[in-house]
């Protein structure tokens, strides 16, 4: 990043937080560039004893995984996972809780850091169907068949295990005066 996204001034390098960072030199602007990051979501959607899986394809590779995708900058994270499930699978599902997350630090060949938050969801309606852009098959798979299902991504297997074995995850905190601001959602352990 070479220019301030707020005022267009050329950025300079100054120490901040223990390392040099691109900053805007204009007094009062205050922009500091902390790097690129993205938030992804994964959905362990259950229907009775079944888990929803999607098939993804790229040239030379086909695999199965849980549905999910990126959170838009102006979107609440629990709305994003429900949207992604519907878009990719045709299934209407409700987010219940967060069962875990994976953090990937930026590295030279992938410089964007990423948080991937895994939600547990309950299927509430719709008919499984692929979108034929990102997903090419969609199936509810009985939990006893998951170990034998060919080509399931390791992170998806981890997420499914976490969702099927954890008694409760992080749930959305009810709104309270002074705690939430517009655009904020707070998650906590039940009873904590």
Residue 192 banded pLDDT, cuts 50, 70, 90: low
**Structural domain contains residue 156:** yes
> Could you tell me which residue, 124 or 191, shows the higher pLDDT?
124
175 is a domain residue: no
Looking at the fold, whether 26 and 61 belong to one and the same domain comes out as no
Burial classification of residue 150, based on how many CB atoms lie within 10 Å of its CB (0-12 exposed, 13-18 middle, 19 or more buried): exposed
Number of folded domains in the chain?
2
Contact 120, 99 (CB under 8 A): yes
Query: Is residue 118 located within the same domain as residue 68?
Result: yes
- Within a domain: residue 19? yes
Among the residue ranges 48-57, 106-115, 152-161, the one predicted with the least confidence is: 106-115
Kindly report whether the global pTM for this prediction surpasses the value 0.85.
yes
**Which pLDDT value is given to residue 58?**
93
Q: Which range of residues forms the domain containing residue 8? A: 1-35
- Cα angle value 173/176/181 (rounded, 5°): 90
With respect to residue 180, please indicate whether it lies within any of the assigned structural domains: no
Q: Does 190 reside within a domain?
A: no
């Amino acid at each position: 990043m070479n220019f301030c996204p707020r005022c267009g001034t050329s950025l300079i390098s100054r120490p901040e937080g223990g390392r040099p960072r691109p900053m805007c030199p204009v007094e009062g602007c205050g922009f500091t560039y902390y790097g690129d990051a993205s938030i992804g979501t994964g959905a362990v959607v259950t229907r009775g004893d079944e888990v929803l899986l999607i098939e993804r394809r790229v040239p030379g590779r086909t695999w199965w995984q849980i549905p999910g995708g990126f959170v838009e900058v102006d979107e609440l994270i629990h709305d994003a996972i429900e949207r992604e499930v519907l878009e990719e699978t045709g299934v209407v599902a409700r987010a219940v809780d967060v069962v875990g997350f994976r953090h990937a630090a930026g590295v030279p060949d992938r410089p964007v850091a990423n948080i991937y938050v895994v939600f547990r969801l309950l299927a509430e309606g719709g008919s499984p169907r692929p979108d034929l852009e990102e997903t090419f098959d969609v199936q509810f798979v009985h939990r006893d068949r998951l170990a034998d299902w060919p080509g399931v991504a390791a992170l998806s297997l981890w997420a499914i295990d976490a969702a099927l074995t954890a008694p409760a995850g992080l749930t959305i905190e009810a709104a309270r005066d002074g705690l939430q601001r517009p655009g904020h959602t707070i998650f906590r352990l039940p009873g904590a």
